[in-house]
Amino acid sequence: MRAIGGLWRWRRNPLRRGTDLAEAWLALAAVVLILGLAPLVGAAVGAAAQSALQQSVQDQRAARHQVAATVVRKLSRGPLDPDPETASGRGTHSRVIADWTAPDGTAQHGAVTAAIKSPVAGDHFTIWTDLHGRTVPRPLDGATATTHAVLAGFGATALAVGLVEGGRRLIVWRMVLRRYARWDRAWDRAGPDWGRTGAGS
């Protein structure tokens, strides 16, 4: 509505100042940039993020393997799990000592998180490891990667809009300061005679 209300600045009007016209053109340029450039920036950032994240998904799927592990004994308490996907279901997870065989054939033994609420010796579960049997977080899911890419695109669009609008406001603020400075100089020149028109002095 403010943009529509500002259209009067383009009309020929004896009260229109040069700065009014400059502000109108600045507002038009900002609208064009916001509607035209910001979505392109968001799309480019989103596409780049999607490409990088999907490549990361492929790399993680190639480097991480799901293997079967066997519970040896349950640990009384363990450190917090850094994986947010397993941390969200911590009530159904337990820290255990387990045995498993790495994808390279070596036998492994250590403390891991099992997706079992009440584990007992001999229970089987799956874990993610690298080629040498070291436990790693589960690989990034393709749908999750796409969600992150979309959020990155929206974030870039919002940032571009914020930068354009912030730049417009900064320029208008500087123009207003210069306008006030001109008014102050004009009042200083007219000040001694102000209000005395026709007084005969």
pLDDT digits (tens, 9 = 90+) for 142-163: 999 999 999 999 999 999 999 9
User: pTM of the entire structure?
Assistant: 0.65
> Model confidence over 160-195: pLDDT tens digits?
999 999 999 999 899 888 888 888 887 887 766 655
30 Cβ neighbours under 8 A, 6+ residues apart: 164, 165, 167, 168
What pLDDT is recorded for position 87? 47
Residue 88 has pLDDT above 60, yes or no: no
31 Cβ neighbours under 8 A, 6+ residues apart: 3
What pLDDT is recorded for position 155? 96
Residue 118 has pLDDT above 60, yes or no: yes
And the tokens for 35?
Answer: 């509607």
What pLDDT is recorded for position 71? 92
Nearest Cα residue to 130 out of 108, 159, 150, 152: 108
Q: Starting at the earlier edge strand, list the strands of the sheet with 65-74.
A: 107-114, 94-101, 65-74, 124-129
Residue 33 has pLDDT above 80, yes or no: yes
What is the band of 86 on the pLDDT scale with cuts at 50, 70, 90?
Answer: very low
Q: Which class for 46: exposed (0-12), middle (13-18), buried (19 or more C-beta within 10 A)?
A: buried
